[in-house]
């Protein structure tokens, strides 16, 4: 498992980590980048370059704070690059800050670096070379995983961190917690190695150190300079810059300049190792550093200074150590003649993934089939643009076949497919679509718009929109940046349309979608006319019926009145006749 992992929620299909990882130790699945532990060099470059800060480094800051809280005796080993990181007037202010935070002992890992340098020199003298330095844990990972056949040339010497850790465990006791503070993320992986168990109890970067100091409310810049508990190191204070190992005391005098080569930068190291057979007889000592500019450019540095400024700070500090005699706190000394050989010896484990590409290549048919899926049917179709993170389309196809990449990581292919689909949709759309610039110039018309406004796309491109239609709705959208919808009428074309006009902020264009409703409008007008005529006729019939009803009612009323008068008279007449008879 790598000390670097991905925060999936923050990872957004940019493939930048794939592009910058020289060994492609990153698998892309469902659009997210995943660090492959058994292939990762732990150089931390993906952490530094990730624009979304989606890469997370295993942190020991909490562990160190727990050591402090629990009252353990803690010894700090500070990497030689510390003078370049803190931006302090006097780098020794860090010593006081660490003591104030809860560290009991503070030493320079430059002491371990000097022992390591001496051991390299011994190996060169005995073997005649070439000897590849083993100080950089990223280089060790590189050789163990990708160039195991070169391990016999890798010095069987521990790193300065491990050497110093072993020394401090002897010096202060095994129960003392030893914490390494430096610029390197790969040191965290080195600490976890089986052979280093119980040597280094925690590794924190300078960035994590800032977190610890901040939590303890300790500002080194406000403190007086302190003194390291030991001042054993004499000439390895510049170990963090390229050539630092060769500059250490014995090496600079016992080896000629042409016997030594320093290669800094991971790509440069890989290139050198690829050609190792051609150059191995030319050098006796080969110093390989993964970070271009040396350890002062490590990914765990907090400072924003340039490589040149960092180098100067380290050199100035190294020179000051040679010019001054500093007060040293006396502790039980180590034997003056040196360290036991067992403290400096190490072994390596070949853990190859079968070549820089990680395994045997898939069958050619499978590669061609994957290339064809992204429209690469012949070599001229292979752009090799590197947008996917791989150096060539073929490399990316191989990665897809191995499950390390996805088909849609090909940006030109995805763009062409998106454009093709978008173009197909626009061209087939029955409604008019217009694309207009922010200065109301015509950028694009689809065929339906050409037909609607009797023009050709090629002839109106770049012209003012008002040369085609009334730009009122487009002007309103440009001002308000809000969508305008509703019916509109363009008399010049006899067109009635329903339109939606909106602004696309990312492209700073205005798009109009117009639906021809002229026929529907005409039908509606005819329906309205028929309705009005029908209502008029209905009113005439009703009026006539009312008149007839009124006339009938009048006649019925007169007849009834006359009948009533006659009947009344008849009744009275009959009554009178009956009375006379009596």
pLDDT in tens, 451-500: 999 999 888 988 999 999 999 999 999 999 999 999 999 999 989 999 99
Query: Hey, CA dihedral for 334, 234, 160, 211, is it positive or negative?
Result: positive
C-alpha distances (whole Å) from 192 to each of 61, 65, 175, 196, 558 are: 16, 19, 18, 7, 123
Q: Distance between CA 64 and CA 178 in Å, rounded?
A: 10
Give the chain's length.
582
Q: Distance between CA 289 and CA 243 in Å, rounded?
A: 9
Q: What are the tens digits of pLDDT across the range 376-434?
A: 988 888 889 988 989 899 999 999 998 899 988 988 888 777 777 667 778 888 999 99
Q: pLDDT-derived band of residue 13, with 50, 70 and 90 as boundaries?
A: confident
Greatest Cα pair distance in the chain: 179
Nearest to 226 by CA among 112, 94, 107, 355: 94
For residues 414 and 287, the model is more confident at 287
Nearest to 227 by CA among 93, 113, 112: 93
Rounded to 5°, the CA angle 52-55-58 comes to 150
Q: Does residue 134 contact residue 161 with C-beta atoms inside 8 Å?
A: no
| Whether residue 439 sits in one domain with residue 335 | no
| Whether residue 152 sits in one domain with residue 289 | yes
Residue 550 lies in a domain: no
Q: What is the DSSP letter of 530?
A: H
Nearest to 244 by CA among 114, 86, 109, 344: 114
Q: pLDDT-derived band of residue 331, with 50, 70 and 90 as boundaries?
A: very low
Q: Say which residue the tokens 């949709």 belong to.
A: 425
Residue 542 lies in a domain: no
Q: Which of 328, 343, 358 is the last residue of a domain?
A: 343
Q: pLDDT-derived band of residue 65, with 50, 70 and 90 as boundaries?
A: very high
Number of domains in the chain: 2
Residue 545 lies in a domain: no
Residue 212 lies in a domain: yes
| Whether residue 445 sits in one domain with residue 328 | no
| Whether residue 197 sits in one domain with residue 312 | yes
Looking at residues 30-59, what average pLDDT do you find? 92
| Whether residue 333 sits in one domain with residue 223 | yes
Q: Which of 464, 493, 516 is the last residue of a domain?
A: 516
Token code pair at residue 565:
């008068």
Residue 184 lies in a domain: yes
Token code pair at residue 388:
């996917």
| Whether residue 443 sits in one domain with residue 332 | no
Q: pLDDT-derived band of residue 355, with 50, 70 and 90 as boundaries?
A: very low
- Which pLDDT belongs to residue 329? 43
Residue 11 lies in a domain: no
| Whether residue 436 sits in one domain with residue 298 | no
Q: Does residue 280 contact residue 127 with C-beta atoms inside 8 Å?
A: no
| Predicted model pTM | 0.73
Backbone angles phi, psi at 63, to 5 degrees: -65, -45
Token code pair at residue 7:
């925060």
Q: Is the peptide bond before 277 cis (omega within 30 degrees of 0)?
A: no
- Which pLDDT belongs to residue 256? 62
Highest mean pLDDT among 87-101, 116-130, 337-351, 543-557: 87-101
User: Which three-class secondary structure state does DSSP give residue 354?
Assistant: coil
| Whether residue 448 sits in one domain with residue 332 | no
The residue range of the domain holding 179 is 59-343
Residue 554 lies in a domain: no
Q: Distance between CA 61 and CA 211 in Å, rounded?
A: 7
Q: pLDDT-derived band of residue 373, with 50, 70 and 90 as boundaries?
A: confident
CATH classification of the domain holding 458 = 3.30.450.20
Token code pair at residue 167:
């020394």
Q: Distance between CA 315 and CA 337 in Å, rounded?
A: 27
Q: Distance between CA 285 and CA 531 in Å, rounded?
A: 103
> How would you label 456-485 residue by residue, b for 16+ Cβ within 10 Å and e otherwise?
eeeebeeeebeebbebebbbebbeeeeebe
- Which pLDDT belongs to residue 249? 45
| Whether residue 443 sits in one domain with residue 329 | no
DSSP assignment string, 107-169: EETHHHHHHHHHHHHHHHHHH-S-EE----HHHHHHHHHH-GGGGGGB--B--HHHHHHHHHH
Of all residues in the chain, what percent carry a pLDDT higher than 70?
87
Q: pLDDT-derived band of residue 325, with 50, 70 and 90 as boundaries?
A: very low
| Whether residue 155 sits in one domain with residue 298 | yes
Q: Which of 309, 343, 377 is the last residue of a domain?
A: 343
Q: Say which residue the tokens 């353990």 belong to.
A: 72
CATH classification of the domain holding 145 = 3.40.50.1780
Mean pLDDT over the full length of the chain: 86
DSSP assignment string, 382-429: -----TTSSSSHHHHHHHHHTTSS-GGG-HHHHHHHHHHHHHHHHHH-
The set of long-range contacts for 231-234, using a CB threshold of 8 Å and a minimum separation of 24, is: 231/326, 231/328, 232/111, 232/114, 232/334, 233/108, 233/110, 233/111, 233/113, 233/114, 233/321, 234/114, 234/321, 234/322
Q: How many helices (H) and strands (E) does the chain have?
A: 21, 16
Q: Does residue 34 contact residue 26 with C-beta atoms inside 8 Å?
A: yes
| Whether residue 250 sits in one domain with residue 114 | yes
Q: What are the tens digits of pLDDT across the range 257-281?
A: 678 899 999 999 999 999 999 988 8
Burial grade of 114 (CB within 10 A; 0-12, 13-18, 19 or more): buried
| Whether residue 460 sits in one domain with residue 339 | no
Residue 569 lies in a domain: no
- Which pLDDT belongs to residue 356? 43
Instruction: Answer yes or no: is pLDDT of 333 > 60.
Output: no
Q: pLDDT-derived band of residue 571, with 50, 70 and 90 as boundaries?
A: low
Q: Distance between CA 174 and CA 168 in Å, rounded?
A: 9
Q: Distance between CA 177 and CA 194 in Å, rounded?
A: 18
């Amino acid at each position: 498992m790598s000390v670097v992992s991905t925060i999936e929620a923050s990872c957004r299909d940019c493939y930048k980590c794939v592009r910058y990882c020289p060994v492609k130790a990153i698998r892309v699945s469902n659009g997210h980048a995943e660090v492959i532990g058994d292939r990762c060099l732990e150089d931390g470059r993906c952490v530094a370059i990730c624009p979304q800060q989606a890469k997370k480094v295993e942190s020991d800051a909490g562990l160190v704070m727990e050591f402090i809280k629990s009252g353990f005796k803690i010894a700090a080993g500070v990497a030689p690059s510390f003078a370049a990181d803190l931006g302090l007037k006097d780098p020794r202010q860090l010593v006081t800050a660490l003591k104030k935070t809860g560290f009991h002992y503070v030493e320079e890992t430059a002491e371990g670096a000097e022992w390591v340098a001496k051991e390299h020199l011994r190996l060169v003298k005995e073997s005649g070379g070439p000897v590849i330095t083993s100080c950089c844990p990223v280089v060790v990972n590189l050789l163990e995983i990708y160039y195991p056949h070169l391990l016999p040339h890798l010095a069987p010497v521990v790193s300065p961190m491990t050497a110093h850790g072993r020394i401090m465990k002897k010096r202060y006791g095994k129960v003392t917690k030893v914490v390494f503070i430096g610029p390197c993320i790969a040191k965290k992986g080195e600490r976890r190695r089986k052979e280093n168990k119980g040597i280094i109890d925690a590794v924190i970067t300078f960035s994590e150190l800032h977190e610890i100091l901040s939590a303890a409310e300790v500002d080194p810049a406000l403190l007086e300079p302190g003194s390291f508990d030991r001042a054993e190191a004499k000439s390895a204070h510049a170990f963090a810059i390229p050539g630092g190992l060769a500059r250490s005391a014995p090496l600079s005098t016992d080896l000629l300049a042409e016997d030594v080569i320093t290669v800094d930068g991971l790509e440069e190291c890989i290139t050198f190792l690829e050609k190792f057979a051609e150059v191995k007889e030319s050098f006796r000592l080969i110093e390989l550093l993964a970070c271009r500019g040396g350890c002062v450019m490590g990914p765990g540095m907090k400072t924003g200074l340039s490589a040149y400024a960092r180098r100067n700070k380290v050199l100035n500090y190294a020179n000051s150590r040679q010019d001054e005699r500093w007060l040293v706190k006396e502790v039980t000394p180590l034997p003056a003649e040196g360290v036991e050989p067992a403290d400096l010896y190490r072994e390596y484990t070949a853990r190859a993934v079968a070549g820089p590409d990680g395994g045997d290549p898939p069958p050619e048919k499978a590669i061609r089939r994957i290339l064809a899926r992204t429209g690469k049917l012949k070599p001229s179709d292979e752009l090799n643009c590197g947008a996917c993170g791989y150096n060539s389309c073929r490399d990316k196809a191989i990665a897809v076949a191995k499950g390390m990449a996805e088909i849609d990581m090909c940006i030109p292919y995805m763009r062409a497919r998106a454009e093709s689909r978008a173009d197909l949709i626009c061209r087939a759309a029955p409604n008019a679509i217009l694309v207009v610039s922010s200065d109301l110039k015509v950028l694009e018309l689809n065929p339906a718009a050409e037909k609607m406004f009797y023009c050709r796309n090629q002839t109106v491109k770049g012209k003012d929109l008002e040369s085609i239609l009334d730009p009122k709705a487009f002007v309103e959208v440009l001002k308000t940046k809000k969508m305008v919808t509703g019916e509109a009428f363009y008399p010049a074309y006899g067109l009635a349309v329903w339109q939606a006009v909106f602004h696309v902020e990312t492209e700073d264009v205005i798009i109009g979608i117009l639906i021809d409703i002229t026929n529907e409008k005409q039908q509606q007008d005819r329906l309205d006319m028929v309705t009005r005529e029908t209502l008029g006729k209905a009113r005439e019939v009703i009026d006539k019926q009312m008149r007839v009803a009124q006339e009938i009612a009048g006649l019925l009323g007169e007849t009834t009145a006359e009948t009533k008068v006659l009947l009344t008279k008849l009744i009275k007449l009959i009554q009178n006749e009956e009375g006379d008879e009596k």
